Structure 1
Amino acid sequence: MLLSCAPGEYHTLALDALFAALTEHQISVQFLGPSAPLPALLHAIEHTQPLVVFVWAQRTATAQPTALRRLVPHTTAVAAGPGWSSTRLPARVRWINSLPEAVALAREATPPDPDPV
């Protein structure tokens, strides 16, 4: 999983909580942090090939669907947070607005460990 705030978004608390929850479920996760520029996000996707990318927007001003459109061909993109609530999302982008929903989506997307310890 890859977590990132939308460009211009500096609210990270929800992604910090998601990072902790995914780690608790032993799901591999990386967090790019606040206000990740789109080229950096695309570069990270290219090099890590995550199953799902969560892009957080707390505010409608930072919820830019053009960024999500660029992600869709490369990975499963998820618009996370209340900022996306009134935004028309590109096809194949799912909107979530709760920690349990985000964890459930990540668990569904994660293949089972073939060699559990």
Structure 2
Amino acid sequence: MSEEPEFPEVLRCHVVAENADELRKFVRETDPDLGCRPVMRGGRTGVGAELYFRQDQLDRARSSRSAQLVDITTVENVTENWRARKEEVGDGDRFAARGAVPRGLGRKE
């Protein structure tokens, strides 16, 4: 099996600012991945959103000018979780044998 390329660590972070304008300013300056559907949610401490950063981006974001406007909490190492889930996937085609019947959840057609 060939050596797989090394992927940069991707981290999911919860970022909270006092208001939506400060959060938007941070996002504009740091350019994180906003995921499929970015949602800002208000809470007791301000407005927050889930943002995705490569480790090098997160380091730069923490030292950005607008970082003083937000609180950044790392929630999950997405790359590490992906690697763990990838180990659960088998090799080959499990239905390659003639007459193999699909099993598990879902409709059998």
TM-score by length of 1: 0.26
Say which one has the larger Rg.
2
Higher strand share: 2
Query: Relative contact order: is structure 1 or structure 2 higher (C-alpha 8 Å, sep ≥ 6)?
Result: 2
Higher helix share: 1
